[in-house]
Amino acid sequence: MSVQTTDYTVSEIRSPAAFIANRVLIYGALVFWAFVCLFPIYWTITTSFKSAVDVTQGHLIPFVDFTPDWKGWRSLGLSPDSIFQTSTVRDEFLKRFMNSVITSVGASALAIVIGSLAAYGLVRYRYKFAWFRNEDISFFFLSQLILPPVVLALPFLVLYREVALLDTRIGLVLLYTLMVLPIVIWIMRDQFNSIPVELEEAALVDGLSIWGAFFRIVMPIALPGMVAAFILAMVLCWNEYFFAALLTSTDAKTIPVMVASQTGSQGINWWSMAALATAAIAPLAIIGIALERYLIMGMTAGSVK
Amino acid sequence: MAEQTSTANAWPANPADLIPAGRKRLGWGLLAAATLGLLAIIVVQILYKTEMSTVGFDTWRPMVYAYILWGAALGAWQVLTRGEDGQRALFLLPALLFTIAMVIFPTLFGFYIALTDWNLSSFTGRRFNGLDNFWQMLADPYYRNALLNMVLYVLAVLVEYVVAFGLALLLNAQIRARKFFRVVFLLPLMLSPVAVSWMVGKSLMEYRFGPAATLARHLGWDNPAFFSDPITARISIMMLDAWTFIPFMMIMLLAGLQAMSREVLEAARVDGATAWQTFWQVTFPLMLPVSVTAVILRIIFKLKLADIIITLTSGGPGGATDSVSSFIYREYRDRSNVGYGTMLAMAYLIIIVVFVTWLLKVASRFVRNVN
């Protein structure tokens, strides 16, 4: 998506005073909303450096009204002084973290592979399975989007127990793939539609098979779209809580489940909770900032024609 | 939501007679063998599980492998017997087989579970009880309450839409540091709702020390308890959910604004329209299709709302904030009531399908009438 400036708001304004008022209003609103977006993140990160007193007295600014301390990170075994010591909490955390990485990357990758293939087929060829044509098949895939997780959760609980997939990462990967597949197909269909069909025709004339043309000509062009779909799928899988909470118990627990189960007998240890929450949101926040362009591309696919 | 795919079949199919008969036979043989193998495993397992035979596997896991192999054989059969047409079908088959296995079968199974009395913590096991769950559901005030809450939560989407539209207009105005603001505004969408509901809902909005509560006291609210009375609790949940999902609508609307042709806006300006008139008579009507897409997608996501409620209020106070998903979650987690929970879920599915179909129909008519 290109960044254009549409300056009609400015050109409306005639007098200098009105211009300044207009600017103040716009930047005021922007700064206000930026504060709304950033303050919770700031609060989470600073709380992981607070001790109990600082939390309960609502201290806000480090070095001014409280002295930062590695307390939260020490309880996770991730502070500078504890990182080289053995820590069961850290092992636990790393295990959950790896579970999250494996399930979200695995599910996104699987969804990209089968979703791209299906989207390509639906865009380029005419199918007829019994009385289902392309439009019906597309609708079948996209309609999965409205299926709420709660409908599948209990049947899957029972079925997974029968096929011994309960509390396994593979089980979660399969479910997450199902969850993001409609979105991937939606994005990739839009992508393939924008590639001129002449490119593949030329490749076929040059003697490539249709699969050869797909892998050597189409895929490199559609790569940005795939990255966009992959990142959007990653975000959804990484943050997923409902299935993970129901279908995992000891082995395959993911980070959100670990975050949600942090209540101790003496209430909540806010500093360790905050450290954990920071660790849970950091990977995606970094990806989001670095690859924002792709995220936006994924979200706007097909919405603007 | 299905749109027409525009590209027609670009290449004529290969003549089928180019495929040698031996290859065709091989394809059919493969498919027959795979189908027989799959059926054999099913029969063996059923016999074993019903204790009519002693040969079999402990779990149904081999079924999964057999299904995958059968899918592979189906693909090979397509290629071997239909040549290039088969290769084309191969693009679609993996996703189709995957979705059918993961959706159709569990949903059908779900409808069966919904008709049973099945409590995982009781010893009696599964027992078919017909429509008992259904009658129980009709009389359940908590379920009705959860459905009512869903209506309120969905209505809150309209407010989110207004805010998102405002933000999109702001980002589309001539401003400095546009990229910075866009990234910042997008951030909430990336964050785990569970982590957010802990750090924001339980800490930032904490009654005694949370900065939000302190701020509310300064603004003159004596008793800033965000989650203790039903209406405030609902509003708090809505606000938290809005915070995470407003960026989603904002980005779609922003893309719509940027795709708008500048000539129309220029023309409006030349005609002497004020900014207010330009917005209502040019921008807003032109943005209607994008707006409708954004709102409908957002509603679909809203209908799945669960994790914030589960972690933050567990439906409290007194079920006031329950969404259908969180209510069913607790029905299972606290009471192990699989049969009844599934009945609730299936009823919800039917309501959603009807509602979304109606919504799509109304929306498409609405967009057509206005333009």
Q: Give pLDDT tens digits for A77-110.
A: 777 777 777 778 888 888 999 999 999 999 999 9
Q: Is a pLDDT exceeding 60 seen at residue A206?
A: yes
Residue A130 and residue A21 share a domain: no
Q: Which of A178-187, A224-233, B67-76, B307-316 has the lowest mean pLDDT?
A: B307-316
Q: Does residue A167 form part of some domain? A: yes
Decide if A140 and B99 are in contact by the 8 Å CB cutoff.
yes
* B296 or B319, which is more confident: B296
Q: Which of A202-216, B10-24, B243-257 has the lowest mean pLDDT?
A: B10-24
Decide if A303 and B294 are in contact by the 8 Å CB cutoff.
yes
CA distance A119 to A191: 9
ipTM: 0.86
Summarize the confidence of residues B219-236 as an average pLDDT.
Answer: 84
Q: Is a pLDDT exceeding 90 seen at residue B87?
A: no
Q: Which of A188-202, B16-30, B149-163, B248-262 has the lowest mean pLDDT?
A: B16-30
Q: Is a pLDDT exceeding 60 seen at residue B310?
A: yes
Supply the pLDDT for residue A99: 92
Q: Does residue A148 form part of some domain? A: yes
Supply the pLDDT for residue A304: 59
Q: Does residue A189 form part of some domain? A: yes
Query: What tens digit of pLDDT does each residue of A160-198 get?
Result: 888 888 888 999 999 999 999 999 999 999 889 888 888
Summarize the confidence of residues A152-157 as an average pLDDT.
Answer: 87
Residue A158 and residue A248 share a domain: yes
DSSP letter string, B145-161: HHHHHHHHHHHHHHHHH
Decide if A6 and B194 are in contact by the 8 Å CB cutoff.
no
Supply the pLDDT for residue A303: 65
CA distance B141 to B110: 23
Decide if A151 and B278 are in contact by the 8 Å CB cutoff.
no
Percent of chain B with pLDDT over 70: 94
Mean pLDDT of chain B: 85
Give the domain ranges of chain B: 18-114, 135-370
3-state SS class at A132: strand
Which ranges of chain A does DSSP label H, i.e. alpha helix?
8-11, 16-47, 52-56, 71-75, 88-124, 134-143, 149-162, 169-193, 197-205, 210-213, 219-239, 242-247, 255-260, 270-290, 292-300
Q: How confident is the model at residue B123 (pLDDT cuts 50, 70, 90)?
A: low
Supply the pLDDT for residue B9: 45
Residue A218 and residue A97 share a domain: yes
| A177 close to A234: Cβ distance less than 8 angstroms | no
Supply the pLDDT for residue A266: 62
Residue A129 and residue A267 share a domain: yes
User: Across the interface, which of A41, A127, A204 has its CB nearest the CB of B11?
Assistant: A204
* B336 or A104, which is more confident: A104
Residue A98 and residue A29 share a domain: no
CA distance B239 to B222: 20
Furthest-apart CA atoms within chain B: distance in Å: 87
> Looking at domain B135-370, which of 3.40.250.10, 1.10.3720.10, 3.40.50.300, 3.40.50.2000 is its CATH number?
1.10.3720.10
Residues from chain B contacting residue A113 (CB–CB below 8 Å): 94
User: Across the interface, which of A5, A150, A304 has its CB nearest the CB of B290?
Assistant: A304
Q: Nearest CA to CA, how far is B33 from chain A (Å)?
A: 22
Q: Does residue A25 form part of some domain? A: yes
Supply the pLDDT for residue A49: 85
Q: Nearest CA to CA, how far is A34 from chain B (Å)?
A: 6
N- to C-terminal Cα separation, chain B: 19
Q: How many CB pairs under 8 A join A and B?
A: 346
Neighbours of A120 (CB within 10 A): 25
| Number of domains composing chain A | 2
CA distance B89 to A104: 28
Q: Nearest CA to CA, how far is B61 from chain A (Å)?
A: 4
User: Across the interface, which of B103, B185, B208 has its CB nearest the CB of A56?
Assistant: B208
Supply the pLDDT for residue B348: 92
Supply the pLDDT for residue B282: 87
Supply the pLDDT for residue B371: 62
Furthest-apart CA atoms within chain A: distance in Å: 74
What CATH number is associated with residue A215?
1.10.3720.10
Residue A100 and residue A2 share a domain: no
Decide if A146 and B64 are in contact by the 8 Å CB cutoff.
no
Q: Does residue A141 form part of some domain? A: yes
Q: Which of A7-21, A52-66, B56-70 has the lowest mean pLDDT?
A: A7-21
CA distance A236 to B315: 23
Q: Is a pLDDT exceeding 90 seen at residue B161?
A: yes
> Under 8 Å CB-to-CB from A114, ≥6 apart: which residues?
A177, A181, B94, B95, B98
DSSP letter string, A177-201: HHHHHHHHHHHHHHHHHTS-HHHHH
Q: How confident is the model at residue B17 (pLDDT cuts 50, 70, 90)?
A: low
Q: How confident is the model at residue B2 (pLDDT cuts 50, 70, 90)?
A: very low
3-state SS class at A75: helix
Query: What tens digit of pLDDT does each residue of A113-136 get?
Result: 999 999 999 998 888 877 888 888
Range of the structural domain that residue A8 is part of: 1-39
Exposure string of A142-153, with b = 16+ CB inside 10 Å and e = fewer, is: bbbbbbbbbbbb
Mutation target among A7, A22, A30, A143 for the B interface, most CBs of B within 10 A:
A30
Supply the pLDDT for residue B268: 85
